[in-house]
Amino acid sequence: MDSLTLKLVLTPALIGGASLAGRRWGPGVSGWLVGLPLTSAPVAVFLALEQGAAFAASAAVGTMEGAISQGAFCLAYGWPAFRGGRLPAIGASVLAFALATALLQRVALPLPARFIIVVAALAAALWLMPAGRASITAGSAPLPAWDIPARMVVATVFVLLLTGAASKLGPRLTGLLAPFPLYAAILTVFAHHLEGPAAAASVLKGLLLGLFGFAGFFLVFAALIESAGLLAAVAAATAVTLVFQAASLWALRREDSRH
């Protein structure tokens, strides 16, 4: 199976499967899944197959740092959401992601130091988010029938465009752009539309908790891809992510039980 076929099969399968699982087993699973690298992990795999391990490792470091841009996205949506509508909030969040990405291109530190900065930034973003608990029920509003097909199409187009442009963008910028929160943005906008800004903020808090596992995935992937190979790097990174995600789901359930 060639790379293009893999992109056309794997990406929509991951997005569609995750979305169906959330609907089948409830909003707790949706909240758990939102932090998974559903679009950026396929990008990392395809970069390794098409551009080589060194390119993929460099891009993975950028993707890990992109969790900071996602944190900026969450803050920039969360606060305007309570003062205006969805359009100002999504506009501010996309701008914040772009500005953070531009700043992160200038960072040059060892991998462990970058990971520590990412963790600190995510913790700060959680603390700075608007008041309102992160709840496992944040995604409980009914979604239209076209929602899941739309997610699959958008995610697949994103992966095709980014991997297609990777050689021109370079590993650093490709990695930084890979974690643009398409899946979370869709969930957030629908929650805002159907349940109001507090629900949107709750979804974003769930995303922020999940991003610790996201960062863990790309830390391990970047560290192992050149020495251990693609399969071992993906397997180890996935295992680390699942540990982080289990902890974040426990934190969400604990917070939910207090209210």
Pick the closest to residue 59 from 79, 77, 76, 44 (CA basis).
44
pLDDT for the residue numbered 156: 78
Q: Please report, for the chain, the start and end positions of each structural domain, with discontinuous segments joined by +.
A: 3-257
Q: pLDDT (tens digit, 0 to 9) for every residue of the chain, 259 residues total?
A: 455 666 667 667 766 776 666 566 544 455 556 667 877 888 888 889 888 999 999 999 999 999 999 999 999 998 887 777 778 888 889 899 999 999 998 888 899 999 999 999 999 998 898 865 444 444 455 566 777 787 778 777 877 787 788 778 888 888 888 778 777 777 777 777 777 787 778 778 878 888 899 999 999 999 999 999 999 999 999 999 988 888 877 776 666 555 5
Q: CA-CA distance, 164 to 78, in Å (whole number)?
A: 32
Spatial contact of 190 and 141, defined as CB atoms under 8 Å apart: yes
- pTM for this model (two decimals): 0.79
Q: CA-CA distance, 58 to 247, in Å (whole number)?
A: 28
Q: CA-CA distance, 224 to 237, in Å (whole number)?
A: 9
pLDDT for the residue numbered 182: 75
